[in-house]
Structure 1
Amino acid sequence: MSLLVQRQGQSLCWFDTDFFAQPDARVFTPAYWQQGDRVDGQSLGRGVTWFVHTERHALVLRHYWRGGLVGRWIRDRFLYLGAARSRAMAEFSLLRQLALAGVAVPRPAAARLVRHGLTYRADILVERIAGARDLVALLQERPLGAKEWRQVGTAIARLHEAGGYHSDLNSHNLLLDEGGKVWIIDLDKGGLRRPGAWQQANLARLLRSLRKEAARLTPFHWQETDWADLLAGYTVASA
């Protein structure tokens, strides 16, 4: 996991050499992947998330957008407080540290910020987990078994043991791959913290998310008793 740094004008890019042997800022633009016929799909949310691939890796390209009321007026600019504190570089660094600690998170491939005076825009490329689906999609099709729920709890415990704080731990940000491994995604605005009340707050946020989806979706194969299995996995892994 060697890091390549590229500076061009107001642009700063980081590249993991496992994914990109040569720095090329064009990889942060959808047009680059479209021209090479290397777009596998896209997902619409606050903005468009692109699923792309190189010769050896499947990746996710994401631009950083603002949410809330501010986002209605300033869609994708953030106050610049230094490169390390920028959204893209902070998430890149966090994912890298967690992956090295053995936490099941996507590896970061590249990150970019482009300054505009006192503000900046940002993009990130991360590893795409092959065959993985989020809990919401899975639970609309089938219930998860007790073993699977315990594995979800174990994955969260490992994140917390490594000090990983997730700012939005919800049922969309937990994936199961074809082998049953649980992955945690979207660590934007996360960080490393000492053990504390935030760990239980993370779990409470996930529980609210599951209850919300259960009230919103039909079918949604989740019941309150599943939570006990998740907590069992979390507790055993934390012991």
Structure 2
Amino acid sequence: MERIEHGSEIIWYDPECFGNFHRDFFEIDYWREQDAIRGKSVGRNTTWFVEDEVGQKVLRHYYRGGMIGRVMEDTFLHVAESKSRAMAEFTVLTKLYRKGLPVPRPCAARMIRSNFVYRADIILTRVEGAQDLVAILKERELDTEQWRSIGQTIRRFHSAGLYHADLNSHNVLLDNNGRSWLIDFDKCHFRQPGSWAKENMERLLRSFRKEQGLHQEFHWEEQDWKALLQGYYKGS
């Protein structure tokens, strides 16, 4: 990992992710000028998909949620460099990636300080040919073995001690080969074994039930959750 400090800007980056890293990589206008934007994901905020000489990447800016987000949309109170949102997620992802877990490779993280606050961004590799479970389930159903495989994947993360702060059906991906991945590790961290794993799974179940109520066509049933749990506990 390399570190750059330029005025109020601090950047961590993995040189293996880039041909020749430049600070402008965090600016969407740079990619627009290069005609290198390959898409975007629009949810609460926009995530950009860009492509450089090495491959496709994800560029994400950090925003606040909840009521405070209306006042401090994308600013956070200043903390130590390693505890900033981008650097903390970069660190968690690096540990997971080195363990061989199915996560996007972390490429670069940035914080820009201003008085008592900072803003942050992160760049990751894009999981090619992957869709989140909500998008998939609006189109088709998954078979029992696919649900079991998803459960086994989640168990691998829990066995590694990873507490996912937002484990929901949007943050589980399936690629073209049927391999499952987890994404969005903002505010995630490692914990000793405990009841948090069960609470994580209950959060995921609530997410499936919520999405089922939101969409007229959503190919998920409670029996699918039982299959997922079979895979989850098989991996114990």
Q: If the TM-score is normalised by the length of the shorter chain, which range does it land in?
A: over 0.9
Q: 1:139 aligns with which of 134, 137, 142?
A: 137
User: Contact 1:114/1:121 (CA < 8 Å) preserved in 2?
Assistant: yes
User: Contact 1:66/1:74 (CA < 8 Å) preserved in 2?
Assistant: yes
Letter in 1 for 2:215: L
Cα distance between partner residues in 1 of 2:106 and 2:23: 15
Q: 1:27 aligns with which of 21, 25, 28?
A: 25
Q: Give the 3-state SS of the residue equivalent to 2:235 in structure 1.
A: helix
Cα distance between partner residues in 2 of 1:23 and 1:60: 15
Alignment pair present for 1:201 and 2:199: yes
Question: Could you state the TM-score of these two structures normalised by the residue count of structure 2?
Answer: 0.98
Aligned to 2:47: 49
Q: Give the 3-state SS of the residue equivalent to 1:12 in structure 2.
A: strand
Cα distance between partner residues in 1 of 2:159 and 2:15: 28
Identity %: 48
Q: 1:155 aligns with which of 153, 166, 171?
A: 153
Aligned to 1:174: 172
Residues paired across the two proteins, number:
236
Letter in 2 for 1:147: E
1:111-160 deviation line (CA, Å, top 9, x unaligned): 00000111100000011100000100111111110000001101100111
Alignment pair present for 1:99 and 2:72: no
Q: Give the 3-state SS of the residue equivalent to 1:233 in structure 2.
A: helix
Q: Give the 3-state SS of the residue equivalent to 1:18 in structure 2.
A: helix
CA displacement at 1:21 relative to structure 2:
4.6
Question: Could you state the TM-score of these two structures normalised by the residue count of structure 1?
Answer: 0.97
Aligned to 1:215: 213
Query: What CA RMSD, in Å, does the superposition of the two structures yield over aligned residues?
Result: 0.9
Letter in 2 for 1:175: L
User: Contact 2:106/2:124 (CA < 8 Å) preserved in 1?
Assistant: yes
Q: Give the 3-state SS of the residue equivalent to 1:186 in structure 2.
A: coil
Runs of at least 4 residues off by over 4 Å? none
Q: Give the 3-state SS of the residue equivalent to 2:104 in structure 1.
A: coil
User: Contact 1:6/1:23 (CA < 8 Å) preserved in 2?
Assistant: no
Q: 1:40 aligns with which of 26, 30, 38?
A: 38
User: Contact 1:46/1:65 (CA < 8 Å) preserved in 2?
Assistant: no
Letter in 1 for 2:28: P
Cα distance between partner residues in 1 of 2:136 and 2:46: 22
1:79-121 deviation line (CA, Å, top 9, x unaligned): 1110111000000000010111121111101000000111100
Cα distance between partner residues in 2 of 1:181 and 1:56: 22
Listed as ranges, the gaps of 5+ residues in structure 2 are none
User: Contact 2:19/2:54 (CA < 8 Å) preserved in 1?
Assistant: no
Aligned to 2:187: 189
Letter in 2 for 1:18: E
Q: Give the 3-state SS of the residue equivalent to 1:76 in structure 2.
A: coil
User: Contact 2:38/2:50 (CA < 8 Å) preserved in 1?
Assistant: yes
Letter in 2 for 1:5: R
User: Contact 2:19/2:53 (CA < 8 Å) preserved in 1?
Assistant: no
Letter in 1 for 2:126: R
